[in-house]
Amino acid sequence: MEQYFIRGGKPLRGVVDICGAKNAALALIPAAILTDEPVIISNLPDVSDINLLLDAIAQIGATVERIDRHTARIIGATVNSYSLNYEYISKIRASYYLLGALLGRFHKAEVAMPGGCVIGARPIDQHIKGFEALGASIDLEDGQIKAQADELKGTHIYFDVVSVGATINVLLAAAMADGITIIENPAKEPHVVDLANMLNSMGARIRGAGTDVIRISGVQKLHSTEYTVIPDQIEAGTFLMAGAATRGDVTVNNVIPKHLESITAKLEDIGCEIVEYDEAVRVIADGCILKNTHVKTLPYPGFPTDMQPQMAVVLTLAEGMSTVKESIFENRFKYAGELARMGAKIKIESNTAMITGVRKLKGAQVESPDLRAGAALTIAGLAAEGCTQVSGIQFIQRGYENFEDKLRRIGADICKIDTDDEAAMDDYRQRCS
């Protein structure tokens, strides 16, 4: 099994090029099968979640050609199945966007029910509410969600909770519905806006994405497009946190600074200097004493839950008492025990982490419970004194392209070793003794 091996304590310094946003790409790929015509999507991150979703649409018959590592040409004309294997939903939750896409295109879809996951129960009642409002009948049988409609009709939908997934699924289903659909209380995340922009470039008529009300005037047909995925705000935020935690100086390049504001505001709060450029953001933390702060995760433009573990790691090294309140998912502090083994003073009370800053973390063997927590524990290892071994890195590879290479290029001492490789393990043990 591959693991990360880190010798910590080195400030990270340099420039990191940020990839396309995984969560945007996960919505754009299903959108591509809403038309028979070819759709080219560029700036796709080369991460396992995206590659699995491309496999999933190929499994239902779409033609998928990789033009290069970050570009795919997708042809929906060959789709010949409305039913996605359980295998995919069990590996990649976002394959449930095929429900919205297949329902929108063929008025019929069958996808296995996504279960809960390590970060929480994650119900899909709002997705179902949206599909039913558009006129679909939904049957939940044998773990399958079966959606069917004679026709989809524009309607008024009010979401009871702000849900990225439900907003995206309804956008996909409603783009070609008959008449006007109004979504109230939608998610405003950058990837929701990116999906609306791509659909509009295919001929859809969607207004208001990124605001409190989205208005979709259904069109009969969508057509081909060439579209570039927006930069990944979470990947960028993760590298900024790595710069802050190691008291370094890191610039993230190819980003939209506006999407990073809730993250950079917190870094400024704790004493880091932030410099914004047109398409880059720099965090300067060398020599600075980090101060405590209080963070609450919220839907965009609030502080993202996907940055919560990385922020918590930085706060373990900030003077005084900080709190991190998780208001989106109920089980997102699984990493706290691992951090405590590295010397962090972190206590979880209900949905809040109480963190008392320490001067140093100490290297340890830790296990990633999920994608973002895995990235956070890696940051902790980079900031810690001594050696850290991070297992469960397959979670990190779901969402970060070349994570360890990018970190190495800004000065991290990190390598990926297969623990069955005795020679590599011996070499590492020697370097760490």
Question: Which residues are known to be catalytic?
Answer: 117
Residue 61 or 120 having the CB closest to ligand UD1: 120
Q: Does 110 bind ligand UD1 (CB under 6 A)?
A: no
Q: Which residues are CB-neighbours of 240 under 8 A, at least 6 positions away?
A: 250, 252, 260, 263, 264, 267, 281, 283
- HEC string of 382-425 equals HHCECEEEEECHHHHHCCCCCHHHHHHHCCCEEEEEECCCHHHH
Q: Which residues are CB-neighbours of 346 under 8 A, at least 6 positions away?
A: 312, 316, 336, 339, 340, 353, 354, 355, 356
Please, what is the minimum distance in Å from the beta carbon of residue 119 to ligand UD1?
7
Scanning 273-281, 288-296, 301-309, 388-396 for contacts with ligand UD1 by CB under 6 A, the matching segment is: 301-309
Q: Does 308 bind ligand UD1 (CB under 6 A)?
A: no
Count interface residues toward ligand UD1 (CB under 6 A). Answer: 22
Helices 190-201 and 164-174, interaxial angle, to 10°? Answer: 10
* Helix (H) or strand (E) segment spanning residue 7: strand 2-7
The only residue of 73, 91, 108, 122 in contact with ligand UD1, by rule CB under 6 A = 122
Alpha-carbon span 162 to 298, nearest angstrom: 10
- DSSP H stretches of helix in 246-327: 261-269, 308-315
Please state, as a whole number, how many other Cβ atoms lie within 10 Å of the Cβ of residue 413.
16
Q: Which residues are CB-neighbours of 433 under 8 A, at least 6 positions away?
A: none
Residue 29 or 407 having the CB closest to ligand UD1: 29
The only residue of 43, 181, 197, 305 in contact with ligand UD1, by rule CB under 6 A = 305
Q: Which residues are CB-neighbours of 350 under 8 A, at least 6 positions away?
A: none
Q: Which of residues 65-104 bind ligand UD1 (CB under 6 A)?
A: 94
The only residue of 95, 163, 238, 293 in contact with ligand UD1, by rule CB under 6 A = 163
Q: Does 165 bind ligand UD1 (CB under 6 A)?
A: yes
Q: Does 125 bind ligand UD1 (CB under 6 A)?
A: yes
DSSP 291: B
The only residue of 50, 53, 60, 166 in contact with ligand UD1, by rule CB under 6 A = 166
Residue 58 or 298 having the CB closest to ligand UD1: 298
Please, what is the minimum distance in Å from the beta carbon of residue 227 to ligand UD1?
17
Alpha-carbon span 27 to 197, nearest angstrom: 12
Query: What does each C-alpha distance from 428 to 21, 357, 358, 387, 425 come to in angstroms?
Result: 33, 30, 27, 10, 5
Please, what is the minimum distance in Å from the beta carbon of residue 164 to ligand UD1?
4
The residue of the chain with the least Cβ separation from ligand UD1 equals 165
Residue 23 or 35 having the CB closest to ligand UD1: 23
Please, what is the minimum distance in Å from the beta carbon of residue 147 to ligand UD1?
14
Q: Is the dihedral of CA 63, 67, 69, 74 positive or negative?
A: negative
The only residue of 32, 183, 187, 307 in contact with ligand UD1, by rule CB under 6 A = 187
Q: Does 123 bind ligand UD1 (CB under 6 A)?
A: yes
Structure token pair of residue 44: 């796709």
Q: Does 31 bind ligand UD1 (CB under 6 A)?
A: no
Phi, psi of 42 (to 5 degrees): -115, 170
Q: Does 44 bind ligand UD1 (CB under 6 A)?
A: no
* 349-371 as b/e: b if 16+ CB within 10 A: eebbbebbbbeebbbbebbbbbb
Residue 234 or 285 having the CB closest to ligand UD1: 234
Q: Which of residues 318-377 bind ligand UD1 (CB under 6 A)?
A: 328-329
Scanning 9-17, 28-36, 244-252, 304-312 for contacts with ligand UD1 by CB under 6 A, the matching segment is: 304-312
Please, what is the minimum distance in Å from the beta carbon of residue 244 to ligand UD1?
21
Please, what is the minimum distance in Å from the beta carbon of residue 382 to ligand UD1?
23
Q: Note whether 167 and 216 are within 8 A (CB).
A: no
* Helix (H) or strand (E) segment spanning residue 47: none
Residue 116 or 143 having the CB closest to ligand UD1: 116
Please, what is the minimum distance in Å from the beta carbon of residue 47 to ligand UD1?
12
The only residue of 164, 290, 313, 346 in contact with ligand UD1, by rule CB under 6 A = 164
Report the interface residues with ligand UD1, using CB under 6 A: 23, 26, 94, 120, 122-127, 161, 163-166, 187, 191, 304-306, 328-329
